[in-house]
Amino acid sequence: MTMEPVQGSDRAPMPGARDVGDADPQERLEVTVMLRQPADDDLKARLAALAAGDTSSGFLSREAYAQQFGADPADIAAVTAFAQAHGLVVVISHPERRTMVLSGTVAQFNAAFGVTLRRFEHPDGTYRGRTGQVHVPPELVGIIQAVLGLDNRPQAGPHFRIPPGHVNVLIPSAARLAAAPSGFTPPQVAALYNYPPGDGAGQCVGIIELGGGYRPADLTKYFSSVGVSPAPKVLAVSVDNTQNKPVGNPDSADGEVLLDIEVVGSVAPGATIAVYFAPNTDAGFTDAVLAAAHDTANKPSVISISWGGPESSWTSQAMTALDQAIQAAVVMGVTVCVASGDSGSSDGASGDNVDFPASSPHALACGGTTLVGSGTTITSESVWNEQSAGGGAGGGGVSTVFATPTWQAGLLATMTSGDAAPLAFRGVPDVCGDADPATGYQILVDGETQVFGGTSAVAPLWAGLLARINAAKGGPSGLVQPLFYANAAAMNDITAGNNGDFAATVGWDACTGLGSPDGAKVATTLSAQPGDARA
């Protein structure tokens, strides 16, 4: 049978990986298949209206979205027949998410999708992978948009940093250590950013985690220590059979999980926090965002993501699938806050790169600053950049994948050299916040209190602010970027510093975006948003 390639599915080995032979043909795995979007023109029209700042028609409920934009039953039937013909089992179908999970052996998936799965060794471990493209029979071309999970390499990394004495070392300047010797608590950072009154009651914040876990005892102790009582309600939600599983090491993914929960819970203690644990693969990441966006039980109005990787490390099909998951979220009124990365303008790769999914134009990309202040007074705020001392820097730059969104039209990216050029593609980040570990956040992880930083802290900080605002105004905010860019005075403009190749300047820049939040002004901006009720 003639097989056709799935567009954008081409895969290369990880840098430094070595092919060590065929994958075990009897190894069992689960793969996520994403189906095409029905009524695509209607969805594009809704997204275009949101991009223009028009929310007058309201956001869709999750039920209405599923009815209008869920997978076509005929497409599900066609993929089911294909799976059965190859001995694959349909574990579950999610019509509202347009996904199907198939189970089978390596040998069965090799035959079904025209791939050869191999084992690879790389400096950080081993993975099952493939090279080249995924293939489907001609009758499924156009129906199947992505096949995710054949390759189980770690797709993303957490964006947190810890000061000296730990694996991800940062050597901060003496002046900044003196300014914040023990870091801030999240409520102290919220006070510096003039957060409006409120606690997010009635809202749910979804947090995406691709590893690690939390212990309830740590949360109880932490929230008591920062004066939050009662402690927020925290729920662990399993995605693709992944559980809340603490490693017992603050330098592990546990650090990410606790940082995210404790920041959100400290600034929006009345909100429910739903933590979606998923495998660190392209399938797991996409499935987690889809699970949160379409969760009819917990109904998050904000999603916080502190994981990502350079655009060059993703396949086109995976980027499209995850971007479409974020599109679905904003059409349902969910704002998706994403950390922009901790490795400056390079994002840890060669040349200039931006981090995905922060580079999705439908995500609120959150960059990093060094914040010095006391009480409610900010003494100084500049771009976080300690790369010269072997530390991190706020991620930012210009995408090579996503077109310039309408709200960024006419903006310039200013280089450290002083040159400036119009944005040819999506600029990152949109906003920023305190991310320097030397002026970072007091966090309790695995029984140990440490100061954490990284843009991982900024995404949940913004998520908590939006939960407060949504609770106060009685509705979700969805795609906030058009309003933010039209009301840039709601931000503290950051004009000092650089993240490598990009420099801060007056107005938007590719280090700190529009700036850090003046919470009360952000609330005023979003409270004027019309049509925030769900249709």
Does 260 qualify as catalytic in the annotation?
A: yes
Average pLDDT of the chain is 94
What pLDDT, on the 0 to 100 scale, is given for residue 179? Answer: 41
For residues 179 and 143, membership in a common domain is answered with no
515 and 428 together in one domain: yes
Residues 126 and 176 reside in one and the same domain: no
Coil/strand/helix, residue 13: coil
Alpha carbon distance 260, 275 (integer Å)? 9
Sheet arrangement for strand 28-35? 89-94, 99-105, 28-35, 144-148
Q: 206: domain range?
A: 157-473+483-526
504: pLDDT strictly greater than 60: yes
Q: What is the mean predicted confidence (pLDDT) over 54-71?
A: 94
Q: How much of the chain is helix, strand and coil, in % rounded to 5? A: 30, 30, 40
Q: Are residues 357 and 465 in the same domain?
A: yes
CATH code of the domain containing 522: 3.40.50.200
Do the domain assignments include residue 332?
Answer: yes
Question: What pLDDT is recorded for position 444?
Answer: 94
Within-domain flag for 205:
yes
Question: Would you state the pLDDT for residue 534?
Answer: 52
Last residue of a domain, one of 90, 118, 148: 148
Domain end call among 86, 120, 148:
148
pLDDT at 532: 53
Asked if residue 222 and residue 101 are part of one domain, the reply reads no
**Would residue 256 show up in a list of annotated catalytic residues for this protein?**
yes
Taking only the tens place, the pLDDT of each residue in 386-412 is 999 889 999 999 999 999 999 999 999
Catalytic residue (one of 343, 345, 456, 516):
456
Is residue 292 pLDDT above 90, yes or no?
yes
Tell me which of 256, 282, 295, 323 is the catalytic residue: 256
Same domain (yes/no): 142, 234 = no
**What is the pTM (predicted TM-score) of this model?**
0.95
pLDDT, residue 177, reads 41
Mean pLDDT across 263-286: 98
What does the buried/exposed string (b/e) look like for 431-456 if buried means 16 or more CB atoms within 10 Å of the residue's CB?
bbbbbbbbbbbbbbbbeeebbbbbbb
pLDDT digits (tens, 9 = 90+) for 197-247: 999 999 999 999 999 999 999 999 999 999 999 999 999 999 999 999 999
- Is residue 65 a part of any domain in this protein? no
Judgement on whether residues 176 and 307 belong to the same structural domain of the protein: yes
Specify the residue for token string 């090799």: 110
98, part of any domain: yes
pLDDT at 166 over 60: no
125 and 268 belong to one structural domain: no
* For the chain, percent of residues with pLDDT exceeding 70: 95
Q: Within a domain: residue 531?
A: no
pLDDT of residue 178: 44
Q: How many domains does the chain have?
A: 2
Whether residues 364 and 222 fall in one domain: yes
Domain boundary among 96, 114, 148: 148
- Six token digits for residue 493: 């403009």
User: 415 with 455, same domain?
Assistant: yes
Residue 143 and residue 215 in one domain: no
**96 belongs to the catalytic site:** no
Do 492 and 517 sit in the same domain of this protein? Answer: yes
Catalytic, out of 260, 311, 355, 518? 260
pLDDT tens for 471-489 read: 999 999 999 999 999 999 9
In whole angstroms, what is the distance from residue 465 CA to residue 303 CA? 12
